């Protein structure tokens, strides 16, 4: 998947999936921050893992609160 296809899918109303987010994040990191491709891939992966962990924690806490009601 390339950036053009990812942007086209996004404009056509498709949902964002992991691949699309990774491509956009890597291109943004490469273009705007000037990092090389392998560093951009690592940074984007770490950021996505962090966001996923926060979302999982949020869902767990929400489930605990919902079960207490």
Cβ atoms of 6 and 24 closer than 8 Å: yes
Neighbours of 29 (CB within 10 A): 20
Task: Say what the pLDDT of residue 1 is.
Answer: 56
Give me the half-sphere count of Cα atoms (radius 13 Å) on the Cβ side of residue 23: 15
pTM score, whole prediction: 0.65
Task: Say what the pLDDT of residue 58 is.
Answer: 92
Average pLDDT value for residue range 25-30 = 87
Task: Say what the pLDDT of residue 5 is.
Answer: 79
Angle CA(53)–CA(55)–CA(56) in degrees, nearest 5? 65
Hey, what are 21's tokens? 């987010």
């Amino acid at each position: 998947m390339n950036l053009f296809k990812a942007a086209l899918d996004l404009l056509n109303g498709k949902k964002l999936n992991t691949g699309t987010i990774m491509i956009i994040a890597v291109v943004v990191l490469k273009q705007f921050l000037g990092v090389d491709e392998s560093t951009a891939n690592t940074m984007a992966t770490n950021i996505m893992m962090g966001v996923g962990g926060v979302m999982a924690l949020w869902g767990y806490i929400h489930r605990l609160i919902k079960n207490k009601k």
